[in-house]
A and B are shown apart, each in its own frame.
Chain A
């Protein structure tokens, strides 16, 4: 991806719609602020301050962006195979559980070994958890949306059992329900002293080209995309559709699990109950906004990270509920999903360039 390719008219046209959708999303949210009797300008400027200009704001925005990158990639990878992985939230939890367990239970390793080991453990946790719906779908044709949604709740309850009060992973010396702290060697190093920004940033920035390479330059990636475009043709061409579905779900889950491990090794250093709220679910929107393009995940994740981080300060300054950003996110997705609206508002010419394949199902079970 060179700069010249980035600025080709087709690329600009491709980017125009998400950007205009974001503009419209903020406009609708602005109306909601207005309707609630507050000042949208104050609200959005506080959102901006909270996300970028306050002390520590930018690094906190980066911290909130990291899970969105991993999870956005996870969901996008699923989309490529026509799989709607709603289970990223649960896979995120399992990744965190595996990561934190290796992080605190293994002792005496140097950081250079311990950190990658714990991250890999997180990927394994996510992989195994996501492979379950993959296998069930491949074997029985059951729809992955249903299974992944349901497995989220199993994951929440499972982690709750593991770390609450006297669970097997609980820190018995603490009055609060949580796991023990991870070993110092297992912590992702802080990049800027005095902030919480950690070396997981590099892991995320490496994950993007890796996923891009996997999808566009490898046999597995080709199989994933082929199954996503037309499972029947893929089958006719000798691709094992079932195996591809399982491996896609597994890799998707591994990315989600990496997000969870990254969060415990980089930010919290232990795992409390109700660990994350909504990173996995928001990431479906991140992947949609990025149109499942691995490179576009970065700006989309950054936008969501900035909103998530800035919302706190917005609520503090203007008393506008932090839930406002949910309105932005939801309306952005509506506009993304219905491009005709954006074309009409902004009088865009309809470029026949490939309508987004958000969730092309395999023609089997749909809900």
Chain B
């Protein structure tokens, strides 16, 4: 399609100058495929040990697909972790969605194939997952990072305590800052974003009571909500001008813009949701860690609950420090620059968040 002129050329008389041997190879290939086709067939797919009843799990991605290195990739990792646990007898497959009209069809494909459970990824699948769960009460469904008001009993939302992840990241930032000022560039002021911010700022004050925290929510901006890296970058540069030396980018592409500003200004940055060292390599030079939702843990837990008949009746599974559902990512490039003392303090905070002796200070408003 790159060249209309050429396409019309090749249809004319074509191919005289081409050597026959090349095409022999093609026809040889055709023959060999047909032969293989005749001999092949049958075959086995990896079926688990017969000691327990197979539990079939299907994962439906959103249009980001498995290669997103983010929510979809981590959700599939959780499914694979469940599959690797031989006690669960999980047999799993995925379907990648090409377009939004595929969601319903892809969930239905698993239902038609008599899968025991379907995991869907993200709010884009919210409507279709709910509809499918209502229509198929016998199939367990779990949706990553989404919750319903009163879902049918076979459907759970997997949600995360963002404030705890933010608290850990803020605690690290409080210990790492040299200027004594840290900043955050946030997406729209909606609950998950507020939780990240409150956690981050309180975490920093916990480890560094004299720290100054700067931050700004993105005002509602139409199509650019969560998707305005230029705005995010400009705000981060403002904050650097006010003395901040670490910035937390928590707002999709808006937050990513703040990370880019940190790279450019040779400052430090904190990622969000997933390990952004992996999902957003542009930020690698500045990334000290990411406030992370352990999506793989959440998905594996939901599957295990389904297998072991511990399915929650509340329609909700909350992931927090206590169940390993939130935390901070590996330090990667900064591993050598963060002292053992600081690492120990972070570990200690994680432990205290987990056992409930430390609160993030976030209260739903």
- Find out whether the CB atom of A339 lies under 8 angstroms from the CB atom of B99: no
Task: Determine if A36 is an interface residue (Cβ-Cβ < 8 Å).
Answer: no
Structural contact, A30 and B37, CB atoms closer than 8 A:
yes
- A322's nearest neighbour on chain B, judged by CB, is B96
Chain A stretch 70-113: residues in CB contact (< 8 A) with chain B: 84, 86
Residues of chain B with a CB closer than 8 A to A345's CB: 23, 26-27, 30
Cβ-defined partner of B29 (8 Å) among A27, A56, A160, A313? A27
A357 touches B8 (CB 8 A): yes
Contacting pair B5 A361 (CB below 8 A): yes
Partner of B15, one of A84, A338, A366: A338
Question: Cβ of B84 < 8 Å from any Cβ of A?
Answer: no
Which residue, of B4, B37, B98, has the highest number of chain A Cβ atoms within 10 A?
B4
**Number of residues of chain B lying within 8 A (CB) of chain A:** 57
Query: Would A340 and B222 be within 8 Å (CB), given that A277-B98, A366-B5 are in contact?
Result: no
Asked whether A340 lies within 8 Å of B14 as measured between CB atoms, the reply is: yes
Interface: A16 (CB within 8 A): no
Chain A nearest CB from B318 CB (Å) reads 19
Contact B37 A361 (CB under 8 A): no
Closest partner residue, chain B, to A45 (CB atom): B41
Chain B neighbourhood of A40, CB < 8 A? 33, 36-37, 40
Stretch at the interface among A130-138, A164-172, A215-223: A164-172
Smallest Cβ-Cβ distance to B26: which chain A residue: A345
On whether the beta carbons of B126 and A164 are closer than 8 Å, the reply is no
Contact B101 A268 (CB under 8 A): yes
Is A184 among interface residues, defined by CB-CB distance under 8 A?
A: no
- Is the CB–CB distance between A341 and B8 below 8 Å? no
Interface residues of B in 100-159 (CB under 8 A from A): 100-102, 104-106, 108-110, 112-113, 123-124, 126-127
Contacting pair B112 A358 (CB below 8 A): no
In whole angstroms, what is the CA distance A319 to B66 when docked? Answer: 13
A31 contacts B108, C-beta separation under 8 Å: no
A339 to B16, CA, bound (A): 12
Query: How far is B4's CA from A176's CA once the two chains are assembled, in angstroms?
Result: 40
A337–B6 Cα distance when bound, in Å, is 10
- Judge whether A24 and B23 touch: CB under 8 Å: no
- In the assembled complex, how far is the CB of residue B235 from the closest CB belonging to chain A, in whole angstroms? 19
Given known A-B contacts A41-B40, A175-B126, A268 and B100 have beta carbons under 8 A apart = yes
Q: B1-40, CB under 8 A of A: which get 1 and which 0? A: 1011101101111111010100100110110011011001
The answer to whether B7 and A359 touch across the interface, beta carbons within 8 angstroms, is yes
Q: B225 on the interface (CB 8 Å rule)?
A: yes
Answer yes or no: A202 CB below 8 A from chain B CBs.
no
- Option from B106, B112, B124, B220 in Cβ contact (under 8 Å) with A176: B124
A160 to B10, CA, bound (A): 38
Chain B residue numbers with a CB within 8 Å of A84 are 1, 4
Q: Whole-angstrom distance between the alpha carbons of A355 and B13 in the complex?
A: 8
Min CB distance, A85 to chain B, in Å?
11
In angstroms, Cα B30 to Cα A345, docked, is: 10
Which of B12, B43, B124 contacts A272 (CB under 8 A)? B124
Inter-chain CA distance A98–B20, complex, in Å, is 52
Report the Cα distance A267→B36, complex, angstroms.
40
* Residues in B whose Cβ lies below 8 Å from that of A196: 104-105
Closest to A312 in B: B95
Give the distance to chain A from B186, nearest Cβ to Cβ, in Å: 16
Asked whether, in the complex, the Cβ of B36 is within 8 Å of the Cβ of A359, the reply is no
B216-250 to A contact mask, C-beta < 8 Å, 1/0: 00001111010100000000000000000000000
- Give the residues in chain B near A176, CB-CB below 8 Å: 123-124, 126-127
- B77: interface (CB < 8 Å): no
Roughly how many angstroms separate A345 CA and B1 CA in the complex, as a whole number?
A: 25
Q: Are A316 and B95 in contact (CB under 8 A)?
A: yes
B63 within 8 A of A: yes
| Inter-subunit contact B93/A274 (CB<8 Å) | no
Residues on the A chain within 8 Å of B112, using CB: 54-56
Closest partner residue, chain B, to A159 (CB atom)? B223
The answer to whether B1 and A337 touch across the interface, beta carbons within 8 angstroms, is: no
Q: How long is the Cα–Cα vector from A264 to B95 in the complex, in angstroms?
A: 23
Across the interface, B36 reaches (CB within 8 A) one of A34, A268, A317, A360, namely A34
A-chain residues with CB within 8 Å of residue B104 when the two chains form the complex: 196
Q: What's the nearest-Cβ distance from chain B to residue A332, in Å?
A: 14
Residues of A within 8 A of B225 (CB): 164-166
Chain B 44-86 residues near chain A, CB threshold 8 A? 45, 58, 63
Residues on A with C-beta less than 8 A from B12 are 355
- Are B223 and A275 in touch, CB under 8 angstroms? no
Residue of B3, B110, B220 touching A166 (CB-CB under 8 A):
B220
Q: Which residues of A contact B10 (CB under 8 A)?
A: 337-338
Please give, as numbers and ranges, the residues of chain B lying within 8 Å of A56 by CB-CB distance.
108, 112
Q: Is A356 an interface residue (CB 8 A)?
A: yes
Answer whether A340 and B101 are a contact pair too, CB < 8 Å, given A274-B63, A345-B27, A361-B8. no
Q: Are B11 and A356 in contact (CB under 8 A)?
A: yes
User: Is there an interface contact between A319 and B37, defined as CB atoms closer than 8 Å?
Assistant: no
Contacts of A54 in B (CB 8 A): 109, 112
Interface string of A339-364 (1 = CB under 8 A from B): 11100110000000001111111000
Say yes or no for A276: interface residue by CB 8 A criterion: yes
Distance in Å from the Cβ of B59 to the closest Cβ of chain A? Answer: 10
| Distance between B191 CB and nearest chain A CB, rounded to angstroms | 11
Chain A residues near B27: list those with CB within 8 A: 345
Whether A367 lies near B95 (C-beta < 8 A) is: no
Chain B residues within an 8 Å CB radius of A164: 222-223, 225, 227
Say whether, besides A361-B4, A366-B5, A274 and B14 are in contact (CB < 8 Å): no
Q: How far is the CA of A345 from the CA of B100 in the complex (A)?
A: 41
**20 interchain pairs (CB within 8 A)?**
A27-B33, A30-B33, A160-B223, A165-B223, A175-B123, A176-B127, A263-B101, A277-B63, A277-B99, A284-B1, A315-B95, A322-B96, A337-B10, A341-B23, A345-B27, A355-B12, A355-B13, A361-B4, A366-B5, A367-B5
Known A27-B29, A42-B41, A281-B1; further 8 A-B contacts with Cβ < 8 A = A145-B1, A165-B223, A176-B127, A339-B11, A341-B15, A344-B20, A356-B11, A358-B8
A residues apposed to B, CB below 8 Å: 23-24, 27-28, 30-31, 34, 39-42, 54-56, 60, 84, 86, 145, 160-161, 164-167, 175-176, 196, 263, 267-268, 272-278, 281, 284, 312-313, 315-317, 319, 322, 337-341, 344-345, 355-361, 366-367
